[in-house]
Amino acid sequence: MTSTATSRVVCPGSFDPITHGHLDIIGRATRMFDEVVVSIGANSTKPSQMFTVEERLAMITEVCARWPQVRAVSFTGLLVDHCAEIGALGVVKGLRSATDFDYELPMAHLNRQMSGLETILLPTAQEWSAVSSTMVREISRFGGDISALVPPTVAEQVTARVRVEGQR
């Protein structure tokens, strides 16, 4: 018997901005699931932002255009409610280090406790294990080269934003 069921997962995050590390996880998720929804959520512990949600959505859509089964959305409120609304069977997140694991595990436990939502933690490719959006913003703000950490269009937009910030 053939099944027509679609496996849909969410790659959630702040994506401020999206990095090669995120893209590694999204790309690997496309090889395991039919649909990958990249969902921008609010992280209450990270108030400082470089890009608006609309700007992040546009960037993600552009750099994920190579994968027809990927779309970008934003959500407010709980991740479990967002996943229920769009019919996602679970979330896929990258693990760079033991620190990430300590941060992700309680969220995975709580999300499963609240709604049964599954969390799949994928070890990040080693080449991206030191890359974070926070470091991309910081390196760029101090004049460093971020071209190896993010796609060219993202690097251009970060550099332009840093220039505007410097004029304020």
Candidates 41-49, 65-73, 123-131, 138-146: pick the segment binding ligand PNS (CB under 6 A): 41-49
Q: Rounded to whole angstroms, what are the CA distances from 97 to 21, 92, 100?
A: 13, 16, 5
Query: Would you count residue 43 as binding ligand PNS (CB under 6 A)?
Result: yes
Among 6, 7, 46, 87, binds ligand PNS (CB under 6 A): 46
Q: Would you say 51 and 13 are in contact if contact means Cβ atoms under 8 Å apart?
A: no
- The DSSP-derived string for 116-164 is --EEEEEEPPGGGTT--HHHHHHHHHTT---TTTS-HHHHHHHHHHHHH
Q: Is 163 in the site for ligand PNS (CB under 6 A)?
A: no
| The one segment of 8-16, 27-35, 118-126, 147-155 that binds ligand PNS by CB under 6 A | 8-16
93 known member of a binding site: yes
- Please report whether residue 89 would count as binding ligand PNS according to CB under 6 A: no
Residues forming the active site: 22, 46, 96, 133
